[in-house]
Structure 1
Amino acid sequence: MSIKNRILDFMKEQAYKPLTAEELLKAMDISRDQRSMLLDLLRNLEEQGAIIKNRRGCYGVPERMGMISGRLQGHAKGFAFLIPDNPNQEDVYIHANDLKGAMHNDKVLVRKFNKADGRSSSGEVVRVLERSNKKIVGKYEDNKNFGFVVPDDNRISYDVFIPQSQTKGAKEGQKVVVEITKWPEKRRNPEGEVVEILGYQGEPGVDIEAIIKKLELPEYFPEDVRNEVEAIPDSIPQEEIEGRRDLRDLKMVTIDGEDAKDFDDAVSIERLSDGKIRLGVHIADVTHYVRRGSALNKEAFNRATSIYLVDRVIPMLPEKLSNNMCSLRSDGDRLAMTVLMSFEEKTGKLLKHEIIESVIRVNHRLTYTKVNKMLIDEDNDLIEEYNDMIDELRLMGEFSQVLRKNRFENGSIDFDFPEAKIILDDEGKPVDIIKVNRGIAEKMIEDFMIRTNEVVAEDMFHREIPFIYRVHEQPSKEKLESLNSFVHNLGYHIKGLKGEEIHPKALQNILDKVKGEPEERVVSTVLLRSMQQAHYSPYNIGHFGLASRYYSHFTSPIRRYPDLMIHRIIKEVINKGVLSEERISQLMDELPNIADHCSVQERRAMDAEYESLDLKKVEYMEDKVGEQYEGIISSVMSFGFFVELDNTVEGLVHVSAMRDDYYHYYEDKHAFIGERTGNSYQLGDKVKVELVKVNLEDKQIDFDLVIDE
């Protein structure tokens, strides 16, 4: 065991009392010639927030000193929540006055207050461990002798003060990038300097560019990364092929969207004897090209994920790898990490599996549309074109339904909301919004990938290998009670909601009961909003939403760093059999930081993707003021309610626009009810609205109710 882990384990012991560095040396029998090394290690652990040094110079772990480490999730109203590093700890509410200059996404230490109401935790920031917002994108507001930048991200509640000498000539209303030079303190805003002027709101490309800058990700790969990629041979060395399982004669296909360019996964299926089948999931072997310690690996870690904006992709890996050498194209041999799983065909029971390094050759690049036409519409032309694979595709479709049935019987929660796809013209202007529904092909690939992720995670868990899991906590007790109260008003009840624990099947049962009913959408929406956000963790606590005891992200290493990292770990395990104590200790040190960083980058990427979609939706509606639509109330707030149109565009009906009565807001019912008429507007209700205002700068759409006489 490393000295670092020895120290942490020692401090977590029940009998431990905070000690000075000298006292730790003595208590742990560390020789005096290692004193400087110990002091460096203590300093490093303190910077990470793993330990705390109190005013008396004594060290201890945060949890034993009434503190919690984690990341702040800011709110537009100024307060924040601490999302603890330890997924078993509950979120902590932080009042704006208790942030002590900490900002959204900062890594902090928080001291919890005693619970006043016995329900929710609150606390105050004690120390900022890591600053997240070194650069901020926002709108410049000019004053005579100075300026301010109002952040685009409303979760950053501070405006940034800009001295006159640091404005770089920015003008009122321009979008700028500002670099923080002084962090906020109590009663003092952060200070910064303008480092880039993006242009005025509404100018071509400015808004998307602002979203990209907000991520703080480079648009281009550094020279050392480009040089490393150029040096990678275009062909696979023969000795590499000889050291792998040769699966080039195994029939397999990739199935993706029409516009996909990076193909992470291929699938194969074989019917064996005695009612068994063998499913093969073959994943691009990115780690062969992205080596530990390389500039390419460092850049992939920094980015952590590919980002899919509405008009472009910011890839995790350079195009030569992501779209060519790693991508499982059907034009030659490719290196893969393969999971071969044998199942009982009728029951879907897993009989055995193996994880291997392989060399493969994809037979066909298929699309979801083509597979759906073959399996649903029985398209004869396509069936003839792919007659060498049609039997396998039909078997895949049948077996995926077995896996799906098992998953839902285990309690996996199914939210089947359609996605929006925005069609842009050559100048990037939105010309249409279409809803994309999932067919057999999409669900089939989802079923195969989920099962593979489960199998891999369980394998590594039982080997007791340090690993990165994809985890998802159950909803908080307060949210479950609120959800139960809401569905109770509609005549439903969540079974098993008595103690602290609840099985996800109890929530899926509610979705099953409302399926096809008028209240289906409203119940699904409220249930979804009660959920926690999935994230990465070195601690396996299972995945609540999927009802999985073991879950990982293994299937997309071209676009997700956690997948790449666990491929690296798996390859070490299957090639060496066991990992050395030194390597295990190294992984235990590395993985918490990798998991935390990837979770943060994933949230930023999702924010950017949603923001770019919202931006183009608002832009699409800009010339439609005065038009009337039918929609569904998708969210109810104290100031009004949001209406979602059939094309997924959302707009606000402000309470002041409800002119036929004086309406009261009922939070528990998710509704407004008229004082005189008794008319109600509740989450899920169908309403008719007129578009009255589109604000591109605030990405806001306003509707008025249309009340038929």
Structure 2
Amino acid sequence: MSTKSKIVDFMKEQAYKPLTAEELLKEFDIPKRDRDKFLDLLEEIENDGLIIKNRKERYGVPERMDLVVGRLQGHAKGFGFLIPDNPEQEDVYISIEDIDGAMHNDRVVVRLIGEKKGKSTAGEVIKILERANHQIVGEYEDSGDFGFVVPDDGKIFHDVFVPKSQSKGAQEGDKVVVEINQWPAKRRNPEGEITEILGHKTDSGVDIETIIKKLDLPADFPSDVREEVAAIPEKISEKEINRRTDLRDVKMVTIDGEDAKDFDDAVSIEKLNEEEARLGVHIADVTHYVKEGSPLDQEALERGTSIYLVDRVIPMLPEKLSNNLCSLRSDQDRLAMSVLMKFDLNSGEVLEHEITESVINVNQRLTYNQVKKMLVDDDEELIDQFSHLIAELRLMADLSKKVRKLRQDKGSVDFEFPEAEVVLDEEGNAIDIEKVDRTIAEKLIEDFMIRTNEVVAEEMYYREVPFIYRVHEEPAKDEIEELNSFLHNLGYHVKGLEGEVHPKSLQKVLNKVEGEPEERVVNTVLLRTMQKAHYHPQNIGHFGLASRCYSHFTSPIRRYPDLMIHRIIKEVINKGVLPKERREELEDNLFSIADHSSLQERKAMDAERESKDLKKVEYMKDKLGQEFEGVISGVMSFGFFVELDNTIEGLVHVSTLVDDYYHYHEDKQAIIGERTAKIYRLGDEVKVEVSKVNVDAQQIDFELIE
């Protein structure tokens, strides 16, 4: 156990009462020569939010002082919710009066004030541990002697005041980057200096550039990272090959999308007998090239994830690694981490497994579409072309169905929502929106990756190794109660409200509504009830997958948590046990890595969604007056959203419903006419006309066609 952990555990003891720094020095019998080091460590632990120093200069752990530490999730109206570091604690509501200058994504300490606000306990911010928004991207508004930057991120409530001398000549309507030099306080906006003008909001290309700048990532890799990557040899040494399990003779394939360039995973299968098969999941060994603590590693950690915008990719790793040395290209020797699993072909159970460092050589790159055509459409030309692989592909398909059924029987909650791909021309304009369906090929790879992630997490959990888990809390009880009230109106019910809700109860509801008119509405409301998955060193399981242990192991080229746990796994399988010093190092660092990775993941998801939504709005700007059929996808007091078959969404404002006075009924997720009792409910099919498209506001307005 590290010194940091010993201090925290000491303060968690029931008999502990808050002590001063001097008293702690005596309690731990710290010699004079180490006094400053110990005090620095106390400050470091305090900055991490693991301990708190009160007004009387005494230290204690937050939970013993009615305090909660976590990240603030802001809201456009100025209030927020604290998302606690401890995944087992409930979110805390923070009113605009109690937010005390904190901003969206800041790490803060909150005092519980014992009140309830709706579903959540209320609290007040008493300390800001870490600022998340040193730079803000937004639109400049000129007010003569000064200006304001209105943040593009709606969760950042404050406009940023900019003195004229700090405006860098920005004009009304420019998209800018503003550096914060004075943080907000009660009744005072933050103040900043414009550091970059991206262009006027109507200029071509400024929209996507704005999204990129919001991620606060450099477009290019720093010079020290480029130099490090340039020095990496392209040829694998014989010494490295000889110390690994040689799987180059094992027949294996990659199965990805048409445009994929970074191939994280390859799969192989061998039928052992009529009852058993060995599935191999082979994942790129990125850690061989990315050394812990190096400039390349630090840059990967800072980025946290690759970001897939509608017209480009911002990679976590430089192209030499992501698209070449680490990418599992066919007919090339590559280093991998292989998980070899023996399956019972009747039940889909894993009978035994092995995790090993390997060298592989992928036989064939296949696309999802090719696999689907062979396995579903019986495309004779493709079957003939890949006759040397078709038996293995069919065996994989059969096994994946067994694996998926086993997961579903456990209660894994599987949502079926269509995704869309935006087709761009050479100038970056949206020319089509194509709905993408998940076929047997995508499901096959998903099934095998999920099971591999479970196997790896279980292995490390039972070895009691410090680790990063992918965790997903069960829905809050009041959220489930609200869901049940809504489902009751449709004739359905979630069982198990007396105690803990099991995911199987939710999956049973999804199974019952499959194929029914209300299927989409139930899927939508149930999804909104769920918490968001994230990374954490504490294993609390994954509710949505009904998994006791889950991790992200299968995409180290594009996700830092995967890369980090590869390091840990390699150390464990090579040494059998982690040295004491290494355990302490991991215990001290894994929370901050997990927390930062979760934050970067949320930013990336927001950016990816925003870039796609932006192009969807652009696509609709010449569709004024055109009629479409759609489904009501969201109901609010001011109207309802309608999603078209191509996944584009627009608003029917309540003011356009002129045949009656309409009122919002939250419990029914509906707007109901006062006189006619006409109902517009979540999931209803409607016909609409495009009445307005505002590209700047990224908003599409529809009007109903009766």
Aligning the two structures, in what range does the TM-score lie when normalised by the shorter sequence?
over 0.9
What's the TM-score, normalizing by structure 1? Answer: 0.99
CA distance in 2, matches of 1:513, 1:313: 40
CA distance in 1, matches of 2:505, 2:153: 36
Q: CA RMSD in A?
A: 0.9
Q: What secondary structure sits across from 1:34 in the alignment?
A: helix
Residues 105-116 of structure 1 aligned to structure 2 (within 5 Å): 105-116=105-116
- The alpha carbon displacement at 1:273 in A equals 2.7
Q: What secondary structure sits across from 1:545 in the alignment?
A: coil
Q: What secondary structure sits across from 1:694 in the alignment?
A: strand
Residue in 2 aligned with 1:9?
9
Per-residue Cα deviation, 1:527-554 (whole angstroms, up to 9, x for no partner)? 0011100000000000000000000000
2:592 paired with 1:573: no
Residue in 2 aligned with 1:187?
187
Q: What secondary structure sits across from 1:87 in the alignment?
A: coil
CA distance in 2, matches of 1:273, 1:642: 54
Residue in 2 aligned with 1:47?
47
2:557 paired with 1:558: yes
Residue in 2 aligned with 1:508?
507
Per-residue Cα deviation, 1:384-404 (whole angstroms, up to 9, x for no partner)? 111111100000001000000
Residue in 1 aligned with 2:334?
334
Q: What secondary structure sits across from 1:668 in the alignment?
A: helix
Q: What secondary structure sits across from 1:113 in the alignment?
A: strand
Residue in 2 aligned with 1:80?
80
Q: What secondary structure sits across from 2:359 in the alignment?
A: strand
Aligned amino acid, residue 677 of structure 1:
T
- The alpha carbon displacement at 1:29 in A equals 2.8
2:590 paired with 1:591: yes
Residues 291-440 of structure 1 aligned to structure 2 (within 5 Å): 291-440=291-440
What's the TM-score, normalizing by structure 2? Answer: 0.99
Per-residue Cα deviation, 1:196-235 (whole angstroms, up to 9, x for no partner)? 1111123111000000000001110001101111100111
Aligned amino acid, residue 689 of structure 2:
E
Residues 148-547 of structure 1 aligned to structure 2 (within 5 Å): 148-273=148-273, 275-499=275-499, 501-547=500-546
CA distance in 2, matches of 1:28, 1:316: 43
Residue in 2 aligned with 1:693?
692
**Cα contact 1:140–1:170 (8 A) shared by 2:** yes
Q: What secondary structure sits across from 1:248 in the alignment?
A: coil
Q: What secondary structure sits across from 2:373 in the alignment?
A: helix
**Cα contact 1:25–1:32 (8 A) shared by 2:** no
CA distance in 2, matches of 1:182, 1:519: 51
**Cα contact 2:503–2:543 (8 A) shared by 1:** yes
Residues 30-69 of structure 1 aligned to structure 2 (within 5 Å): 30-69=30-69
**Cα contact 2:138–2:150 (8 A) shared by 1:** yes
2:128 paired with 1:128: yes
Gaps of 5+ in 2: none
Aligned amino acid, residue 511 of structure 1:
L
Describe the shift of the 1:368–1:122 C-alpha distance in structure 2 as closer, same or farther (beyond 3 A): same
Q: Which stretch of structure 1 is more off in the superposition, 30-39 or 424-433?
A: 30-39
Aligned amino acid, residue 668 of structure 2:
K
- The alpha carbon displacement at 1:30 in A equals 2.8
- The alpha carbon displacement at 1:497 in A equals 1.4
- The alpha carbon displacement at 1:120 in A equals 2.3
Residue in 1 aligned with 2:677?
678
Q: Which runs of 4+ in 1 moved over 4 A?
A: 116-119
- The alpha carbon displacement at 1:145 in A equals 0.4
Per-residue Cα deviation, 1:165-219 (whole angstroms, up to 9, x for no partner)? 0000000011111110100011000000111111112311100000000000111
- The alpha carbon displacement at 1:115 in A equals 3.4
CA distance in 2, matches of 1:152, 1:195: 16
Per-residue Cα deviation, 1:10-30 (whole angstroms, up to 9, x for no partner)? 000111110001111222333
**Cα contact 1:403–1:447 (8 A) shared by 2:** yes
- The alpha carbon displacement at 1:562 in A equals 0.2
**Cα contact 1:673–1:680 (8 A) shared by 2:** yes
**Cα contact 1:202–1:696 (8 A) shared by 2:** no
- The alpha carbon displacement at 1:698 in A equals 1.0
CA distance in 2, matches of 1:603, 1:202: 27
**Cα contact 2:2–2:587 (8 A) shared by 1:** no
**Cα contact 2:477–2:497 (8 A) shared by 1:** no
CA distance in 2, matches of 1:115, 1:187: 24
- The alpha carbon displacement at 1:343 in A equals 1.1
Q: What secondary structure sits across from 1:114 in the alignment?
A: strand
Aligned amino acid, residue 44 of structure 2:
N
- Identical aligned residues as a percent: 69
- The alpha carbon displacement at 1:118 in A equals 9.4
2:629 paired with 1:630: yes
CA distance in 1, matches of 2:350, 2:30: 50
CA distance in 1, matches of 2:61, 2:34: 22
Q: What secondary structure sits across from 2:114 in the alignment?
A: coil
Gaps of 5+ in 1: none
CA distance in 1, matches of 2:111, 2:295: 39
- The alpha carbon displacement at 1:119 in A equals 5.1
Per-residue Cα deviation, 1:432-487 (whole angstroms, up to 9, x for no partner)? 00100011100000000000000000000000000000000011111101000000
CA distance in 2, matches of 1:171, 1:120: 42
2:576 paired with 1:600: no
**Cα contact 2:93–2:117 (8 A) shared by 1:** no
- The alpha carbon displacement at 1:116 in A equals 4.3
CA distance in 1, matches of 2:663, 2:2: 61
Q: What secondary structure sits across from 2:168 in the alignment?
A: coil
Aligned amino acid, residue 33 of structure 2:
D
Aligned amino acid, residue 559 of structure 2:
R
Q: Which stretch of structure 1 is more off in the superposition, 30-39 or 10-19?
A: 30-39
Describe the shift of the 1:117–1:85 C-alpha distance in structure 2 as closer, same or farther (beyond 3 A): closer
CA distance in 2, matches of 1:327, 1:523: 40
Q: What secondary structure sits across from 1:546 in the alignment?
A: coil
Aligned amino acid, residue 674 of structure 1:
G
Describe the shift of the 1:525–1:579 C-alpha distance in structure 2 as closer, same or farther (beyond 3 A): same
CA distance in 2, matches of 1:125, 1:183: 15
Aligned amino acid, residue 64 of structure 2:
R
- The alpha carbon displacement at 1:281 in A equals 0.1
Instruction: Count residues in correspondence.
Output: 706
CA distance in 1, matches of 2:311, 2:100: 39
Per-residue Cα deviation, 1:575-607 (whole angstroms, up to 9, x for no partner)? 111111111011000100000000000000000
CA distance in 2, matches of 1:195, 1:496: 55
Q: What secondary structure sits across from 1:188 in the alignment?
A: coil
Per-residue Cα deviation, 1:404-432 (whole angstroms, up to 9, x for no partner)? 00000000001011100000000000000
**Cα contact 2:536–2:594 (8 A) shared by 1:** yes
**Cα contact 1:178–1:192 (8 A) shared by 2:** yes
Residue in 2 aligned with 1:20?
20
**Cα contact 1:246–1:358 (8 A) shared by 2:** yes
Q: Which stretch of structure 1 is more off in the superposition, 264-273 or 109-118?
A: 109-118
**Cα contact 2:116–2:122 (8 A) shared by 1:** no
- The alpha carbon displacement at 1:621 in A equals 0.3
CA distance in 2, matches of 1:245, 1:595: 30
CA distance in 1, matches of 2:374, 2:117: 59
- The alpha carbon displacement at 1:275 in A equals 1.1
- The alpha carbon displacement at 1:274 in A equals 5.5
- The alpha carbon displacement at 1:33 in A equals 3.1
Q: What secondary structure sits across from 2:115 in the alignment?
A: coil
